[in-house]
Amino acid sequence: MPFNLLVLFCLCYVAMLFCVAFLAERRAAEGRVRWLRSPAIYTLSLSIYCTAWTFYGAVGYAARSGLEFVTIYLGPTLVFVGWWWVLRKLVRIGRQQRVTSIADLISSRFGKSNILGVVVTLIAVIAATPYIALQLQSVTLSFAVFASGTPEGWALPNRDATAIWVAGGLALFTILFGTRNLDAKEQHHGVVLAIAVEAVVKLVALLAVGIFVVWGIAGGAQEVFARIDATQAAGWTLQPDRWIGMIAVSGAAVICLPRMFQVMVVEGGEDRHLALASWAFPAYLLLMSLFIVPIAVIGLERMPAGSNPDMFVLTLPLAEGQGGLALLAFLGGFSSATSMVIVESIALATMVSNHIVMPLWLRLAPKAAMKGDVRRIVLLARRLSIVGVLGLGYAYYRMSGGSAALAAMGLIAFAGMAQVLPVLLGGIFWRGATKAGAVAGLVTGFAVWAFTLLLPFFGPGTLLPQAVFDHGLFGLGWLRPQALFGIAGMDPLVHAIFWSAVLNTAAFCAGSLLTFPGPVERMQGAAFVNVFDADAAGPQGWARGRAEPEALLMMAQRILGEEPALALFEAEARAQGKAGYLPDATPDFVAGLERRLAGSVGAATAHAMISQIVGRATVSVEDLMAVANETAQIMEYSAQLEAQREELSRTAGALREANEKLTQLSVQKDAFLSQISHELRTPMTSIRAFSEVLTEGDLPPELVANYGRIIHDEAIRLTRLLDDLLDLSVLENGSVQLNLSLVNLQQLLDRALAAASHTRPERSFTVIRDLPAENLFLRTDGDRLVQVFINLVSNARKYCDAASPALTISVRQRAGRVHVDFTDNGTGIAKQHQAIIFEKFARLSDQHRAGGAGLGLAICREVMANLGGQVSYLPGRGGASFRVTLPLRIGRQAA
Amino acid sequence: MARRVPLFLKRRSYRQRRLRDAARLLPLVGMFLLLVPLIGAGGAGNTAGHGLYLFLVWLGLVAAAAALSAGLGSDPGDDGEADSPAPPDRPR
C-alpha cells in the first residue's frame, strides 16, 4: 500500500474525529448533553485503558509470557465488578467536590494542600512520560511496518520525524478540544465522544484481526486450541508472584492513572453510569483480550523468526495479503494511541497548570493574580503544559531509542502511578489520614519505585552505575535496587511492587498516626469519608471571614467568565431574597463559590484565591471550635427561652387564678353588703313600724309597753349585730389588742359553760369533760378564748338535735400546741356545708330558729387566727365536732 | 448526630441491602477464582485449558455484575423505612 495513501487515510480519520468532537461540543453548547452523558458513552470512554500497549503490546506480551498478559485486564475487571467498594465513593466525592484531577482530589482531601498536589503531579508526569513515549513509538512502528512492506520498497525516511509529526498533531487536537474553554466542571464532551468513537474502532479492528486469524488462517477454534497446546514456549508457565502482583498493580492503576481518573471521575460519573460500566467495561476488556493468544500463537508460527511480536496485529494480515484488514488494524492502533495521549495530556496539563503553574503565579505576582484575566492565564498554562507533556514523551522516546519492549514500559508506568493508591484509599476511608502521612507515603513509594524499577530499567551503567547494582547504594549491601534488604531472587517487577507498596503504606500510616491534622484537613477528611451522609456537611471554613461580595464577583468573573459568574451571583442573591447581583457573602455561599472555582483551577488554588479576598488564609482550630461553640450557645439560648416561656406561662396561670379569686372576692363583697343591709333592715323595719304606731297614740298602756319592749329588743339586736361586725372587722384587720396573761384552761371552760347555759336553758344538756387534762395553763388572751368556747358550746346547745343531747369536751397536748375538741351527739353538718360554715352570714337552718346573724363562727375563726391558732370542723366524729388548736404560749409576733 | 436506623427493613429494602452485599462480595469471589490456576503449579503444559477457564470465569463475573447492576444502579437510597406491621395473611 502506498505510504501516501496511508497518510491520507490517517488524515481523513483524524478529520472525522475533529468533526465528531466539534459536533459534540456544539450540541453541548446548546445544552443537549443528555445523550452525550449516557452510560454507554461513559463506558466506551473508559476504554482508553486499552492503549496501543494493549492493541499491539498484548500480543507481544502473550508471545513472550503466555497467559500473563490477562492480569492487566483482570485487575480492572475486579475493580469494576466491585464498584460498590471504591469507585462509587470516588465518583461521588469527585462530583461533590468538583475534583479536576487525581492530584486535586488528594490535595483537596488533605487540607487543600498544595505540596501534595505538586507531589502527585510530579509522580503522574514522571510515570506517564514513558507511557506517552510508548504510544508515539507504537504509532511510529506501525507506520514503519507499512513503509517496509510497500512494493515500492521505500523505507520510512525518518522515524523521529514521524514521531514529531504525530506528537505535534496530537498536541494540536488536544489543545483545540481539551482547552477550548475553561469549564466550571472541567468536562470535555467533544473529546469524550471522540474517544468513544475510537473505542469502537479499536475493538472492531482487533476483533476483525482475531476472527481472521482464527477462522481465516488457523481454520477454527478447535485448531487454534490444538496449536496453543503445541506451542508451549519457554516462560509460558504461570508465575504466582507475578500473577498476583500484576493483578494488584493493574487494579490500582485503573483507579489512579490520570487518564482513567479523568474519564471515570472528572468527566462526570454517576451511579447509573457506573452500574452499566461495572459489567460492560469488563466485557469490553474480555473482548479485547479474547483473540490475543491465538494471534500470538499463529504469529509465532507463521512469521519469520526474529520479527517483532509486538507488531503481529499488523504484520500477520499484511503477510497474508489482507491490505484492507491491515489498514483497519492500523487505524485501531492509531485510535488506541491517540485517544490515550489526548486524554492523558489533558489530565496532566490540568494537574500541572492547577498545582504548579497557578500557585507559582499566585506566589510570584499576587497583584496581577487579583487583577488580570485568570482564565487566559489558566488556558495558556494548560496549552503550554500539553505541549510540555508531549514534548517530554517525545524526548523520552528519543532518549530510550524506541527499542524496549512495549509491555515493560507500560508496567513501569502502572507501578509508578499505583503509588498514589494507598493515600487515595486512606483518604476516602480513613478520617485519621493526615497530610504529613500522605506526603511521607507518596515520597517513600515514589522513591522506592524509581530506585528499584524506573532507573534500573535503562540497564546498568546508564542512569545507575554498575556498582550500585552489585554493591548497593553508597556501598550498602542492603540497598541493591533489585534486592532490597538483602532479599534476592525475586522477580524485579514483583520486587519493586512489593517493597514500594509495603514501605509506602507503612510510611503513610505511621505519618498519619504520629501527626495532627490541621482544621481544613479535618473538615475535608470528614466531608470525604462521610460523603454519603447528607447531613455531614459540617461547619464551613469561612464562618469567621469577612468578604466583600463585589470583590468575590470580580474574581469569579475572571475565572468563570463574566456571564456565568453574574448568573451565579444573581441566582444566589435571589435565593437570599435580594435584588441585584450582589448576595451577602454568607459562609455557605463563599464555600459554594470556592467549590465552583475549584472545578476550574483546583481546590488549592481556589482556596488560596478566596482567602486573599476573605482576608484569612486558613481557618484555625479555634475557629472550628468557636463555630461549634456558637452552635452550642444557640442551643443553650433556645433552652433558656424555653424555660422562660414555661415560667411566663406559669406566671400567667397564677395571674389568672388571682384574677378569679379577686372576682370571687368582689362577688363575695357584694353578697356581704346585700346581706348586711338585709340584716340591718329587718330590725329597722319593725322598729319604724312599731314607733309609727306608738306616735299615733290612743293605745292601751299594756300594748304600748309591749311595743316598747319589741322596739328595745330590736334595737339591742341591731347593736349586737353592729358590735359583731365591728369586732369582726377589727379581728380581720389584725389590729385587735390582745390581753395576754397566764390562764387556766379548766377555768376558761367553766366560764364558757356557765355563760352558754343561757342558751336554750329549757333543754337538759349533758357535758362530758376530762378534768385532769383540762388542768393546764396557757399564756393567751383568756377573754377572747372564752368568747370562742362560748360560741362553740352555745352552737352545740342550739343545733344538737339528739333526744338527750350531750357534749364531749376533750383536751390534748401535742408539740407545744393544745387541741380542744367540742363534739356533740347530733347529726352533725352535711359534707357540702362544712366548707362554708366559717363564712360570714353562713346559716344552715332558717334564721329565726338560729336567732343569730351567722357571724359567730366567722368571729371564732378570726379570734383563733389572732391567737396564733385555728378552729376547724372535724368530720367523721358522729356529731358536729369542732377542734380549737392554739399554742401553749402565744408568740410575741402574734401578740 | 446518630441517624436513626430502623432495626428491621421492609422486604424491598432488605433485598436491596443483600444486593449490595452481593456486589461487595463479587470481587472477592472473582479474586479467589482467578487465583485457582496457580494451585497445583501445573501451568506449564496447559495454557489452552487455563485460558479457557480464565475466560469462562471472566464471562461469569461479567454476567454476575450485569445481573447485580440492574438492581443497584437505580437505587434511590431509600433504605430507612422501618418494617410496618403488615396485615396478617388470610387463610384461603
Residue that wins the pLDDT comparison between A498 and A25: A498
Q: Find the range with the poorest average confidence among A207-221, A486-500, B17-31.
A: A486-500
Q: Measured between CB atoms, which of B45, B61, B75 is closest to A232?
A: B45
Give the gyration radius of chain B's Cα atoms.
21
Same domain, A7 and A143: yes
Predicted confidence (pLDDT) at residue A58 exceeds the cutoff of 50? yes
**Alpha-carbon gap, residue A440 to A307, rounded angstroms:** 45
**Which chain A residues are Cβ-neighbours of B30 within 8 angstroms?**
77-78, 81-82
Compute the average pLDDT of residues A12-35.
Answer: 82
- Which pLDDT score, from 0 to 100, does residue A200 have? 92
Give the residue numbers spanning the domain of A654.
623-729
Nearest CA in chain B to A276: B69
Q: Give residue B3's pLDDT band: very low, low, confident or very high (50, 70, 90).
A: very low
Inside any domain, residue A894: no
The pLDDT value given to residue B82:
37
What CATH number did the domain enclosing A103 receive?
1.20.1730.10
Sign of CA dihedral A333, A339, A342, A347: negative
Q: How far apart are CA A579 and CA A584, in angstroms?
A: 11
Q: Tell me how far apart the alpha carbons of residues A558 and A379 are, in angstroms, rounded to a whole number.
A: 12
ipTM for the predicted complex:
0.80
- Do residues A700 and A747 share a domain? no
Residue A588's pLDDT is 76
How many Å lie between the alpha carbon of B76 and the closest alpha carbon of chain A? 10
Please tell me whether residues A769 and A645 are part of one structural domain. Answer: no
A675 in the same domain as A784? no
Cα separations in angstroms, A481 against A124, A207, A466, A501, A728: 22, 41, 11, 15, 116
Residue A229: closest C-alpha in chain B: B48
Among A266, A358, A315, which Cα is nearest to A63's?
A: A315
Task: Average the pLDDT over each of A498-512, A615-629, A813-827 and give the range with the smallest value.
Answer: A615-629
Q: How confident is the model over A811-869, as pLDDT tens digits?
A: 888 878 888 889 888 887 877 777 677 777 666 654 444 456 677 888 888 888 888 88
Three cell numbers written together for A404:
524496549
For residues A831 and A724, give the distance between their C-alpha atoms in angstroms, rounded to a whole number.
Answer: 27
Residues of A with CB under 8 A from a CB of B: 66-67, 70, 74, 77-85, 225, 228-229, 232, 236-238, 240, 243-244, 247, 271-272, 274-276, 278-280, 282-283, 286, 289-290, 293, 533, 535
Choosing from A402, A426, A447, the residue where a domain stops is A402
Q: Are A619 and A544 in contact (CB under 8 A)?
A: yes
Interface size between A and B, measured as CB pairs under 8 A: 105
User: Three-class SS of residue A851?
Assistant: coil
Section A279-288 average pLDDT: 92
Helix A189-211 vs helix A312-319: crossing angle, to nearest 10: 50
Question: Is residue A860 a part of any domain in this protein?
Answer: yes
pLDDT tens by residue, A868-894: 888 888 777 778 888 888 888 876 544
| Band (A526; pLDDT cuts 50, 70, 90) | confident
Residues A90 and A114 in one domain: yes
CATH number at residue A856: 3.30.565.10
Grid cell for residue A155? 523505507
> Given pLDDT bands bounded at 50, 70 and 90, which one contains residue A233?
low
**Are A699 and A837 in the same domain?**
no
Q: Which has the higher per-residue pLDDT, A618 or A680? A: A680
* Chain B residue with Cα closest to A227: B48
In a domain, A537, yes or no: no
Q: Do A131 and A92 sit in the same domain of this protein? A: yes
Tell me: pLDDT of A65 over 60: yes
**B29-68 residues touching A, CB cutoff 8 A:** 30-31, 34-35, 37-38, 43-45, 47-48, 50-52, 54-55, 58-59, 61-66, 68
Q: What is the mean pLDDT of residues A137-151?
A: 73
Residues 6+ apart with CB under 8 A from A511: A434, A436, A437, A438, A439, A440, A441
Using alpha carbons, list the distances in angstroms from residue A763 to A663, A756, A783.
45, 12, 26
**Which stretch of A11-25, A73-87, A193-207, A418-432 has the lowest confidence by average pLDDT?**
A11-25
Q: Of A697, A729, A761, which marks where a domain is finished?
A: A729
Of the residues A372, A402, A432, the one at which a domain ends: A402
Q: Into how many domains does chain A fold?
A: 4
Q: Does residue A685 share a domain with residue A634?
A: yes
Tell me A83's DSSP state. Answer: T
